Structure 1
Amino acid sequence: MSALVGPGLFPFTLAALVMAGLVLVEAFSLLLGQSASGLLDGAIGHDAVGEGVGAADASEGLSPAALLSWINLGRVPFLILLILALALFALAGLILQGLATALLAPLPALAAVPLAFAATLPALRLTTRTVARLIPRDESYAVTAEELVGATAEVTLGPLDQGLPGQVRAHDRHGNVHFLRARAAADASPMATGTRVLLVDRVDAVYVAVPAPADL
């Protein structure tokens, strides 16, 4: 145990501990009916971030925006990307120091951290690309976001109120499933998980919902 907090391994042990803490936060938030990942994306404007870094794909050079786009920020939830980055960084560091110890001696942290970071980036790109295919996206290429206004949906992470957005599951005209961030309309009562709702508007990438009429 003492070896894990030695100077050469401490940055990677710390990354692993922070990663574990974030996983616990996400798991606990899901038990409470809200996703910490979804709440964080709503707070920082996940859709806007995705559009902003996506526009950097065609830019020349290695700008910060291009790097964020390269590791798929905007295609996976920010908290999930952060958890993956910390896990891969910790793993790369532990493997690197293990090999260095077997060959000669542990590397100084100032040398090990940049090497582990360099190994983390391509691994993170591959991992987030895979995760992006598995996580339902708010919008589909088949329809525009505005076309989902007027659709009925079911609350999957609630209750929906006028506070932080929750999540609803909706179907478009093609039958595709969309998981969307939504909150209750200003004059609507809170809507619990499982409630059928009607999406009546979309404001700042968040849908506005009211209880669905019985005849819909």
Structure 2
Amino acid sequence: MTSLLQPGYAPFIMAIGIMIVIAILESITLLFGFSVTTHAGNLLAHQFDIDHAGASAEPGVVGQFLGWLHVGRVPFLILLVLFLTGFAVAGLLLQALLHALAHFMLPPAIAACAALPLALGFVRKTGKPIGRLVPQEESSALSEIDFIGRAVRIVTGEATQGTPAEARFVDEFGQPHYVRIEPDDADHRFVRGQTVLIVARVSGSLYRAIKSPRHDA
């Protein structure tokens, strides 16, 4: 059997390593009540105006492509794992078959380019059905418009208008929700641990909030 340490396998072994690093990082951040992959997914959805409910403006080319990959609909961690798995499996199989049949391997960069569209297609085909099988951050009984009027706690960063921070709340069904919050008043700022009240939705996972009258700042 061909050694997996050969240079032709390098991009795909690296993909497996990245999966391990992501798993460790996610586990560590969850200990602090914060999901790094959820944060990344929310950031992408906000940055490129991805809104599967159709409430925000028409996304650009990048936003449409990310939406095609189910970003904003399926947990971002699932999509990352699917992409890295598809990329690693497609590349390893390609190089192994070439080595077995033709006794050569593609250069790593060319092999990675060949495996990339296969990995993206794998995410597109499997992301949505697999996403239905895993717990979602949003309860089906609670839509994003229902977030207005909710008290949320800032869990990371400092929020100013134009620079949102991530906040968290748990609904009456016991489901945690993560949203990005910025002050409704440009003169205000929210800090980690502060409880604020959502008053408006801007787009995607981005909301405006005011200081909660029920909690001290």
The TM-score with structure 2 as length reference comes to 0.65
Could you say if the C-alpha distance between residues 199 and 182 of structure 1 is closer, same or farther in structure 2, counting changes exceeding 3 Å?
farther
Contact 2:95 2:106 in 1 (8 A): no
Q: 1:72 aligns with which of 70, 73, 89?
A: 70
Structure 1 position 187, deviation (Å): 8.3
Contact 1:12 1:93 (C-alpha < 8 Å) held by counterparts: yes
Structure 2: runs of 5 or more not aligned: 160-164
- Relative to structure 1, the CA distance from residue 207 to residue 25 in structure 2 (aligned partners, 3 Å threshold; closer, same or farther) is farther
Q: Which aligned pairs between 1:54-133 and structure 2 lie closer than 5 A?
A: 55=58, 65-78=63-76, 80-109=78-107, 110-133=109-132
Aligned to 1:29: 29
Indicate the RMSD between aligned Cα atoms, in angstroms.
4.0
Q: Counterparts of 2:119 and 2:95 in 1: how far apart (Å)?
A: 14
Residue range with higher mean Cα deviation, 97-106 or 18-27: 97-106
* 1:7 alignment counterpart: 7
Q: Secondary structure at the match of 2:51?
A: helix
Question: In the TM superposition, what is the alpha-carbon distance from 1:9 to its structure 2 partner?
Answer: 0.7
| Residue identity in the other structure for 1:104 | A
Alignment of 1:112-191 (within 5 A): 112-133=111-132, 134-138=134-138, 145-151=144-150, 159=155, 162-163=158-159, 164-171=165-172, 179-181=177-179, 191=193
Query: Structure 1 46/22 Cα, relative in aligned 2: closer, same or farther at 3 Å?
Result: farther
Q: 1:69 to 1:22 in 2, by over 3 A?
A: same
Q: Which has the higher helix share?
A: 1
Q: Structure 1 pair 24/46, CA: closer, same or farther in 2 (3 Å)?
A: farther
Q: Amino acid of the residue matched to residue 102 of structure 2?
A: L
Residue by residue, what CA displacement relative to the aligned partner does 1:70-123 show, whole Å, maximum 9, x if unpaired? 221222344543343122201211122223333332431354323322321221
- Partner amino acid, structure 2, of 1:113: A
Report the Cα distance in structure 2 between the residues aligned to 1:96 and 1:191, rounded to whole angstroms. Answer: 50
Q: How far is 1:36 from its partner?
A: 0.8
Q: Identify if the C-alpha distance between structure 1 residues 199 and 47 changes in structure 2 by more than 3 Å, giving closer, same or farther.
A: farther
Q: Deviations over 1:12-32 (max 9, x none)?
A: 112222222222211211122
User: TM-score scaled by structure 1?
Assistant: 0.65
User: Counterpart amino acid of 1:165?
Assistant: E
